[in-house]
Amino acid sequence: KMRSQIQEKFGNWQPTDRDKGEKITVPGATQAKEGGIFIVDRPQLTQSSVQIGHLGGQFNNPDYPELDVLNQVMNGFGGRLFNEVRSRLGLAYSVYGVWSPRHDYPGIFVAGGQTRS
């Protein structure tokens, strides 16, 4: 039934000139810039935000299945970061990790949290 509905709605659809354009190319991601520690001094504030990041890899990475399992174990409301850093130790109001691979370019890995200054 779904196929017939799609055919009914989009069966006569023709690409526009815009759709026939050149394929967009995305420049390769690099870590050419040096990392560092960046501090914004705001002594009047009582909370700090800490973040780390790295290139996150692509879906065709041979370690993808293991990294995906690691991401699920570490992150999320029931993940180890949340349970250990926030719930058990009480060190942060918010703690998170994000691993976001992509198909045709490296994605990102970010971990961070907010804590008392």
5: confidence class by pLDDT, cuts 50, 70, 90: very high
Asked if residues 111 and 52 have their Cβ atoms less than 8 Å apart, the reply is yes
Pair of tokens at residue 70? 């690691």
Domain 47-117 has CATH 3.30.830.10: yes
96 vs 25, higher pLDDT: 96
pLDDT tens per residue, range 37-94:
888 888 898 888 989 888 888 899 999 898 888 888 888 678 888 888 888 898 888 8
3-28: average pLDDT: 79
The two tokens of residue 88 are 């058990």
pLDDT of 72: 87
Residue 59 CA to residue 71 CA, distance in Å, equals: 14
Tokens of 7: 């055919």
Q: Which residues neighbour 101 within 8 Å (Cβ) at sequence distance 6 or greater?
A: 56, 57, 58, 59, 61, 64, 67, 107
pLDDT for 60 equals 92
> Per-residue pLDDT tens for 22-36?
777 777 767 667 778
